Copies of this chain bind each other. A is one copy, B any other.
């Protein structure tokens, strides 16, 4: 199976199209899946996919260009930020473990510190301590508060000196599982039922691991929905979540009338659903014809 990693890099420019194009254009050797800029946030997320070494090189090239072109001393926007290139998460898609993405994050972190002179915090699965797992905690105080924050021994950067880059601040580099937004629609307009099912299936209240869930009303359709984030669709697959919702809905006599995936899915997660429902024995992802085209 081909090794594939996704990166959803965030940088602090969402208004000047020519600057955004120049930063994104620094990436090569990867497939750019999406570029989303927000003028109010003054921020862009560029999502790209490729083999691990290519993704690391592309992330470094984009970071280098962002450091060269952006000056955080002039930057204003609604979204919290601490650097010109602000967040770099690596996400395993196929043939790669989360631990390998952690190693990739550490390797890139060292290179950003030494080659670009920008200090790096490792976050999420790559964090060096529990208090550094959450991006919001690392970023608290933002660019303007970085110099003072780095004096606190608890907030020394993981790579590089404890001094922010004068114009580019610092960057958070990390690794996390792929996230799938999966919504299941119920054949009722009773929001209470959607809320009770959401409570039953989500991790926080004793349901499935790696599942966040809320009950919401789809007023235009006269339906309610269990709206979910699957925080690790390899460990907790779509079919298991779907069957848990079906099982909980059955006690109210409510049918599932449809579902939706918002955004993209790794091929393995689709294959796993087919394996479960068709009871396939020994079916490998590389038995999908198109997967053969992606092999080296």
Binding site for B on A (CB under 8 A): 4, 6, 31, 33, 49, 93-94, 185, 238-239, 242, 256-261, 263-267, 270-271, 273-274, 277-283, 287-294
* B289 and A260 within 8 A (CB): no
25 interchain pairs (CB within 8 A)? A4-B289, A4-B293, A31-B293, A49-B293, A93-B290, A238-B278, A242-B278, A258-B279, A258-B281, A259-B279, A261-B280, A261-B283, A261-B287, A264-B288, A265-B288, A267-B267, A267-B291, A270-B270, A270-B271, A273-B273, A273-B274, A273-B277, A290-B290, A290-B294, A293-B294
Q: Which residue of B lies closest to A241 (CB)?
A: B278
Q: Which residue of B lies closest to A291 (CB)?
A: B290
Give the number of copies in the complex.
2
In the bound assembly, the distance between CA atoms of A294 and B281 in angstroms comes to 27
* B294 and A294 within 8 A (CB): yes
In the bound assembly, the distance between CA atoms of A258 and B283 in angstroms comes to 11
Query: Taking A264-B287, A273-B273, A274-B274 as contacts, is the C-beta distance between A33 and B258 under 8 angstroms?
Result: no
Q: How far is the CB of A268 from chain B (nearest CB, A)?
A: 9
In the bound assembly, the distance between CA atoms of A270 and B238 in angstroms comes to 14
Residue from A6, A263, A265 whose CB has the most chain B CB atoms within 10 Å: A265
Residues in B neighbouring A265, C-beta threshold 8 A: 287-289
Q: How far is the CB of A220 from chain B (nearest CB, A)?
A: 14
Query: Taking A258-B281, A281-B258 as contacts, is the C-beta distance between A292 and B264 under 8 angstroms?
Result: yes
Q: How far is the CB of A217 from chain B (nearest CB, A)?
A: 17
Query: Of the candidates B242, B261, B271, B278, which one forms a contact with A259 in the assembled complex, judged by CB atoms under 8 Å apart?
Result: B278
Q: Which residue of B lies closest to A267 (CB)?
A: B290
Q: Which residue of B lies closest to A295 (CB)?
A: B31
* A260 and B282 within 8 A (CB): yes
* B258 and A280 within 8 A (CB): yes
Residues in B neighbouring A258, C-beta threshold 8 A: 279-281
Residues in B neighbouring A266, C-beta threshold 8 A: 288-290
In the bound assembly, the distance between CA atoms of A16 and B263 in angstroms comes to 51
* A267 and B288 within 8 A (CB): yes
Query: Of the candidates B49, B278, B289, which one forms a contact with A292 in the assembled complex, judged by CB atoms under 8 Å apart?
Result: B49
